[in-house]
Amino acid sequence: MSLIIGIAGTAKNTGKTTTTSSILDELYNKKILIGLTSIGYDGEETDNITGLPKPRLFVKKNTLLATAEKCLKAGSADYDILETTDIMTPLGRICIVRVHKEGLAVVAGPNKGSQLKYVENKMINELNCKVVLVDGALNRIAPMIETDGVIIATGASRNVNIDILVKETKALHELLNLPEVSKEELQYFTDISKIALIPKKIHEKTSFLNYGSLIGNDIVKEIIDKIKCAETVFIPALISEFALKKLNDGLGTLWANKTLIIKDPIKLITGGNPETLINEIKKIKFNGGNVKTLKNLPLLAITVNPFYPKYRFDIDSYEPGYIDREELVDKMRASVDVPIIDIKHEGSLRLLKSILNLVQP
Amino acid sequence: MKKKKVLLAPLDPVHDIGLKMIKRGLEQKGHDTLLMPPDYSQEEIIKSIIDNDADIVLVSRTLGYGVAEILGKFIDLAEAAEIRDRIKIGIGGMAIRPELAAELGFDAGFGPGTTVAEAVAFVEGRKYIPEETKGKKNKKDITEGYNYLFHNKKIEKLLDSIVDGILDYVNNKTTTAIQRAEIRRRILESDNESEIQRLRVDYSKLCDDVIKSFYVSGKYREKTRPLTSSEVSALKRYVDEVNSRMNPLRLQHNDKNPVVFIQYGTGCPFMDIAHIKSCEAWGSDGAVHFDPSWGARTEGFLEGYITHEEDGSVITYENLKSIKMSLAPNTLWQVRAHRGLNTPETVLLAGKIGADLTKVNIAYGSLGGGTDPERLTVDAVAAIKYAAEFNMPFDVVTNEELCGVPAYKAFAGMLIVSKLGLRLGAKPILQPLFCYSPEVMVSGQMEDNYVDFNAAKIYCLRNIVNAPIWCGAPIGFLTQTEDRVQSSLMTALHASLASSLGVDGISIASSDEAFSGGPITVPARIDTLRATQASFRFFGQSSIAPTENAQNWANEIEEGIEKVLESVVKNGNFIEALYQGILGSREDGAYPGRAGKNSVIKQFC
Amino acid sequence: MSILDKIMDAIDLETYLVCKDEDEAEKLTKELMEKFGFKDISIVFIQHQGPGARVRARGYIYKPGDRYGWLFKQSY
């Protein structure tokens, strides 16, 4: 059994890199073969001298990496190149390599979901990795759908107001954990690429729209016009917050006994704000409807970081600032039902245990 | 190539002019384009991509605020809408760095300075090669198309009479310079080592002591040293490496724009080469070799790779050869021989090594260049013969204007030497100065503008003869200050004035022209090259319109030239006219040079 | 009191670097500016052609909204 874990940060300084390196360390302790890649690279953290991303992750011998050609020369680790893929990035082609001398590495992987999938398949099916870590990039979330689950790093850098932070995280968790469809339904919907209005009995007179995404007034209107005989609305691609709102405004109680099926939560999250989206989903439920997803993106854990860079006007400089750690952890735990860990404070062992249960049940 | 459907969308509240230009470029190449109005939401743009079944999307973002969040979201939306894998997405605009675009998952990022051609290449899936024409610069013959027909027949007649006198005078006269040039030629053409050694001894006997001691005891003149063999081989490596990545810019915006020469003479041939290569890269068309001023007062040349601590690069066969070997094939190269005691050998070496142009002017060389009029006249005739033999056109520079000689007198001297050149079978190029000369400072012709009097000079010369004109040297002389912006602007405007007047070539200074505290730098050279390029771009085919003063002054100059030539003829002898100040007097600021005085040897056959 | 207090906003450094391409020029420029101790560095202009790159790098001393040294210290 293998596991692909995505690690995403909600803002700078939320501790994404700390989370990734802690997991790496614990996996090394357990002698688990790791594959490591990332979504593109985090150019904010470039080394001013080399112009390349700063090496921030320490990799040990035999770890497998998917990273761009130019990054192989940066950092202190050495590699055997196993494959130079056709995946082009501005830092050169993506290479799949094995570490032969441990050291600091620069990881800049593919930035499209389809390319990420290729790399993951290689690592798991051909190179026998037990865990593949996908280090996220700020401002990009879509390719994470190609993982088995994500760990989200959040904290004071995202928002110093603990209540707002907890509310947002809770909404995100709910979006990522929508009920999944049955196996039978999954099989039926998997190959449908357009919005489908399915009547009561599956396989009968399904009405297809020309679009896969719910992203415009005309599409919303067409669904409203055709909703009467449908029992299920399937949207296989992007759903914008604005269009979903319009759809709810138009349908209202017509949602009663109908089900909205989405392909995966990423299709929602990229299109809007988590709290607004959850509100819309609640509206559907309030009106007697239901919302399901073909596939979820499990939220494996949340790491929280009370630190934030605090600006001081009097000295025109930043200094370390902290919000109340205990309050943050307690409120988060009370609202969000996944492991909540402050890595800096309690280390990553608990985090890893909860993850390893998934790999080695 | 398959025609593409391209959607162009600004991710800004305002329209990006860049997108409109790219749209035009794509349409000219036959692609279908759709330009979205500004201020559409990202979702609306995604929908348009789907509705129009676009193959390629070009988005622009000019505002820097929140750029990473907005662009990251756009790519995420494209991926969530399941269209990412079938379209190519490029991003451009003031706020875009290619690295940022890459980091956020775009297929290409175009920052400030991107050309339409670059964006078109991306759309067509080609590797972008900067403007195909750039690599193919041709070497231009600036004398091409000129028949040297005199429109002013009176002047022509006067010139012929003066030239007859010169040729008559130099007949049966020689100098050590002429003899050295002949020996040098035999040295270069011989492959017999003992003969070469014998010839070197003969050569050394015709030199000043400081040069003689080099040939006899290997002693170098003070402030010169030989370059080491490791320096010589490192230079070759450097030049090879640089040549492998050369893709020179073009300064000219249209065919009317003149060729642009830079002048070099840092003292070290290797620094010269480094400067020339950079100037070539930034678009210069030609380079002019400056030798040290002491070289002009010394009988004889050294040998070998020699560097020099002061201005001017020492002329030796090896130095010139190493410079020539480093030049791009299209670079015009001029070696000056307009003054001094080695003019025939200078032209011989230049010709043997393959220079394109040389520079000869007896009037300037003897009135402003410090060489004895008689000596220079005899040498110049020999030098011009070499120029004709090696098919090197030569310019006739009128720098005596800078001493204070009025333009009409300097032009009279220039026309005499030009006519002499024609008679000897060479191709002269007129070189009037574009400068703020002492003459105009005193008489006020440039009180209002720098345009009219410079234009008058060109009008006047064009009225006299159908000959190529190369403005020098450098253009804008004495209008520049040490401030690089002012200096570069002055150069650029003079360049455009020259272009507007239809001249064939110009020599430009660096923006360090007015700085005398040390050697000039490469950035200072790039300053004026870029400024000139920008100015050519600005004016295009349009013209600068001088006031009516220009034509009036042109007529005055022409009348002045006639009077000067008449008095030279009346005086009976060009050389005497130089001594007497007819072509520039002591009161004007011109002093007949003394280097080589009484050194002409009379031959009896 | 530092001489930097007298600088209104920034120090520009202009030079020409012999290098193979613009990327290399950018790296070298940043390295150079860091060696000089500049903290807030921008590359204003960079153009690479053949032998090398013409660069203009900037180290900001004061940006609008900062507390300007020259506003308070009248003499050095």
Q: Which residues of B touch A235 (CB under 8 A)?
A: none
**The tokens of B14 are what?**
């305002």
Chain A's closest residue to B106, CA to CA, is A111
Count A/B contacts: CB-CB distance under 8 Å.
Answer: 101
Q: In angstroms, what separates the C-alpha of C50 from chain B's closest C-alpha?
A: 4
Q: How confident is residue A49, by pLDDT bands cut at 50, 70 and 90? A: very low
pLDDT at A51: 53
Would you say residue A106 has pLDDT above 90? no
Of B71, B77, B101, the CB nearest to A270: B77
Q: Do A43 and B50 touch (CB under 8 A)?
A: no
Position C46 pLDDT exceeds 90? yes
* Percent with pLDDT over 90 in chain A: 65
Contact C27 A51 (CB under 8 A): yes
Cβ contacts below 8 Å, chain B against chain C, sum to: 35
Residues of chain B found within 8 Å of residue A91, distances taken between Cβ atoms: 102
Calpha distance A49→C31 (Å, rounded): 5
Interface of A with C (CB under 8 A): 48-51, 316
Contact A141 B50 (CB under 8 A): no
Do B5 and B53 touch, CB atoms closer than 8 A?
A: yes
B526 interaction partners in chain C (CB closer than 8 Å):
16, 54
Q: For domain A3-175+298-359, give the CATH superfamily.
A: P-loop containing nucleotide triphosphate hydrolases (3.40.50.300)
- Neighboring chain C residues of A50 at a CB cutoff of 8 Å: 27
Element (H, E) at B192: none
Backbone angles phi, psi at A93, to 5 degrees: -70, 150
Residues of chain C positioned with their CB less than 8 A from the CB of B277: 50-51
Query: Chain B closest CA to A2's CA: distance in Å?
Result: 26
Q: Which residues in chain B touch residue A211, judged by CB atoms under 8 angstroms apart?
A: 47, 50
Preceding omega of B258 cis (within 30 degrees of 0): no
Does C31 sit within 8 Å of A49, measured CB to CB? yes
* Regions of chain B short of the pLDDT cut 70: 15, 64, 129-137, 605
Q: Is A215's CB within 8 Å of B76's CB? A: no
The pTM (predicted TM-score) of the whole model is: 0.64
Which residue ranges form the domains of chain B, and what is each CATH number? 5-123 (3.40.50.280), 432-547 (no CATH)
* Whether A238 and B77 lie within 8 Å, measured CB to CB: yes
Contact (Cβ atoms closer than 8 angstroms) between residue A25 and residue A84: no
CB-nearest partner of A143 from B44, B79, B99: B79
Kindly report the backbone phi and psi dihedral angles of residue A288, in degrees, each rounded to the nearest multiple of 5, phi listed first.
Answer: 90, 10
To the nearest 10°, the Cα dihedral for B556, B561, B562, B568? 150
Q: What is the pLDDT of residue A91?
A: 77
Report which residue type is found at A116: L
Give the CB-side neighbour count of residue B105, counting CA atoms within 13 A: 33
Residue A111 pLDDT level (bands cut at 50, 70, 90): confident
Taking CA–CA distances from C54, the nearest residue in chain B reads B523
Q: What is the pLDDT of residue A42?
A: 62
Q: Sketch the domain layout of chain A as residue ranges.
A: 3-175+298-359, 178-293
Q: Does C12 touch chain B (CB under 8 A)?
A: no
**Given an 8 Å threshold on Cβ–Cβ distance, is A238 in contact with B44?**
no
Which residues on A lie below 8 Å from C34 (Cβ)? 48-49
Cβ–Cβ below 8 Å for C27 and A316: no
Which B positions 221-280 lie with beta carbon below 8 A of chain C?
A: 242, 245-249, 274, 277-278, 280
Instruction: Report the residue of chain B nearest C16, measured CA to CA.
Output: B523
pLDDT confidence of residue B596: 94
Structure tokens at B585: 């007097």
Give partners of C (≥3 CB pairs < 8 A).
Answer: A, B
Instruction: Tell me the C-alpha distance between B431 and B338, whole Å.
Output: 12
Residue from C49, C54, C55, C56 to probe the interface with B (highest B Cβ count within 10 Å): C49
3-class SS of residue B194: helix
* Mutation target among C12, C13, C15, C16 for the B interface, most CBs of B within 10 A: C16
- Per DSSP, chain B holds a count of helices (H) and strands (E) of 24, 18
Give the single-character DSSP code of B413. Answer: H
Map out the domains of chain C with their CATH numbers: 3-72 (3.30.30.60)
Summarize pLDDT for A54-66 with one digit per residue, the tens. 667 899 999 999 9
Of C26, C41, C67, the CB nearest to A51: C26
CA Rg value for chain B = 29
Burial of C3 (0-12, 13-18, 19+ CB in 10 A): exposed
Beta-carbon separation of A215 and B81 below 8 A: yes
Taking the C-alpha atoms of residue B338 and residue A340, their distance in angstroms, rounded to an integer, is: 86
Average pLDDT of the residues of chain A = 89
**How does DSSP classify residue C1?**
-
Interface check for C16 against chain B (CB to CB < 8 A): the answer is yes
Contacting residues of B for A39, CB less than 8 Å apart = 105
Contact of B32 with B5, CB cutoff 8 Å: yes
Contact B258, B499 (CB under 8 A): yes
Q: Is A327 helix (H, G, I), strand (E, B) or coil?
A: helix
pLDDT digits (tens, 9 = 90+) for B391-419: 999 999 999 999 899 999 999 999 999 99
Confidence band for A346, pLDDT divided at 50, 70 and 90: confident
CA-nearest residue of chain B to A263? B80
More confident residue, A314 or B601: B601
Mean pLDDT of A308-314: 77
* pLDDT (tens digit per residue) in B30-41: 999 999 988 888
A320 forms beta bridges with A309
Answer whether A143 sits within 8 Å of B81, measured CB to CB: no
CB A175 within 8 A of CB A144: no
Q: Tell me the residue type at B466.
A: N
**CA pseudo-torsion sign A163, A169, A173, A175:** positive
Q: What is the DSSP string of B304-367?
A: SSEEESSSS----HHHHHHHHHHS-TT-EEEEE-SSSS-HHHHHHHHHHHT-SEEE--HHHHHH
Chains contacting B (3 or more CB pairs within 8 Å) = A, C
Q: What pLDDT, on the 0 to 100 scale, is given for residue A96?
A: 97
Mind listing the pLDDT tens digit for each residue in C24-45?
999 999 999 999 999 889 999 9
